[in-house]
Amino acid sequence: MNVIAWNCRGLGNVKAVPCIKDLVRVYKPDILILIETLCNNNKIFSLKYSVGFDHHFSVDCIGRSGGLAVLWRNSAHCSITSYSLNFINMSIQDPIKGPWRLTAFYGYPEHGRRRNSWDLLRSLHTQSDDPWCIIGDFNDHLSSFDKRGGPDRPRWLIQGFQEAVTDCGLTDLPLIGYQFTWFKSIGTSHAKEARIDRALCSAPWQNLFPHNSLQTLVAPMSDHTPLLLQHDPATWRTPHNSFRFNNSWLIEPDLSHYVKDNWSYYPTSNIVTKLNYCVEDMKLWSKANHPHFNQRKMQLKNQIETMRASNDATDNPRLLELQNSLTNLLLQEDVYWRQRSKIYWLKDGDTNSKFFHCTTSSRRRKI
């Protein structure tokens, strides 16, 4: 099972939904947790259909702050047990591992209410004896190394959060990837970073999922990075992509000229060899003449990860440029499919499925 938790800082932003669609498309989470949605249930209801989830539950924002939402698939076997403005408690009925508890948490952002967050954490601990995992934006640090730049964190705040975590019998899951999940003023001399988004788990939950992993993802908007929690991470295997001829290429006059010009230069030993050379040339032609959003997105994400891993990333304005480029690319991809689908498919909530792509592509094949 995969869980994504992200403080998205508002779903009203036109850039937010394409970012969420990309996260869901790439990592295929069973449960999606959104923090600081800054919207009401109607927006979450619409988002559920846009990203292809079966169920949702949301806590509306108050004024211009707050808002929590959870979206999940049928495969998650999830049910809501309790909630407030700062948490959503879920019971997961795993058919193999048995029942366990997942909590989406949003700590009070005000310094003067930190003790309220710690007391809330202790209160949640007493609500169930099931194996427990709590994930979200805690707005707290567990050590002085959780912050870089700006003034030092007061020691009493760090110690208070440590005591609350210890009282609840929780363990901080190690983070894979970039170690800071929040940033401010990136690209300037006043840049600050901190790890305030995390996942905590009880010992029984750790025993239930001994191979779990928690990693940071790349999202071009919001000042928080998404977290991906995997219970049993699958080993990545490089997919074998066989060649597929796109019928829409037939309306491109440049391709026929390109193939005719190169055909005479292929070896004349047999037709199969010539066709193999022709396939390789068509692959190169398609890369240069057709949009490859996934490839470009991966390039930008890798560049962001590489730059964030360097020591001078916080005051490098190039990082902000890469994030803006990724945001614009996601918007372009969304507009591209909206146009090809005559707009109303995506507007009415069709998921970005294989059937959807085949349907939207059929119009162009008929021209």
Q: Give the Cα separation of 206 and 164 in Å (integer).
A: 19
Question: What residues make up the domain containing 258?
Answer: 247-289
Does residue 88 sit within a domain? yes
d(Cα 286, Cα 305) in Å, to the nearest integer? Answer: 28
Q: Is-contact 304 326, C-beta < 8 A?
A: yes
Residues 267, 189 share a domain: no
Q: For residue 287, what are its two tokens?
A: 């890369």
Give the model's pLDDT for residue 199: 95
Residue 320 lies in a domain: no
Last-in-domain residue among 199, 230, 261: 230
In a domain, 206, yes or no: yes
CATH number at residue 39: 3.60.10.10
pLDDT of residue 245: 73
**Assigned domain for 295 exists:** no
Residues 139, 251 within the same domain: no
Q: Measured in Å, how far apart are the chain's first and last C-alpha atoms?
A: 43
Considering the domain boundaries, does residue 40 fall inside one?
yes
Q: How many residues does the chain have?
A: 367
pLDDT per residue as tens, the chain (367 positions)? 899 999 998 888 778 888 898 899 888 999 999 999 988 888 899 889 888 899 999 999 888 788 999 999 998 999 999 999 999 999 999 888 899 999 999 999 888 888 999 999 999 999 989 999 999 999 999 998 998 888 888 899 999 999 999 999 999 999 998 889 998 877 777 888 899 999 999 999 999 999 999 999 988 788 899 999 998 776 555 556 677 776 656 666 777 888 888 888 888 778 888 888 888 888 887 777 665 777 778 888 888 887 777 766 566 677 778 888 888 778 777 766 665 655 454 555 555 566 666 666 665 555 4
Residue among 50, 45, 58, 42 nearest 24 (CA): 50
- CB 186: neighbour CB atoms within 10 A? 20
Residue 118 CB: number of other CB atoms within 10 A?
23
Same domain assignment for residues 281 and 149: no
What are the E-state strand segments in the chain?
A: 2-7, 31-35, 55-59, 68-72, 78-83, 87-94, 98-106, 132-137, 147-148, 170-172, 175-176, 182-184, 192-194, 197-202, 213-216, 227-230
The pLDDT assigned to 301 comes to 83
CB 344 within 8 A of CB 45: no
> Hey, which residues does 215 pair with through a beta bridge?
176, 228
341 residue type, one letter:
S
The reply to whether 44 and 91 lie within a common domain is: yes
Q: Which residues touch 62 (CB under 8 Å, ≥6 apart)? A: 85
23 touches 248 (CB < 8 A): no
Q: How many domains does the chain have?
A: 2
For residue 230, the SS3 value is strand
Same domain? 172 vs 125: yes
Residue 212 shares a structural domain with residue 253: no
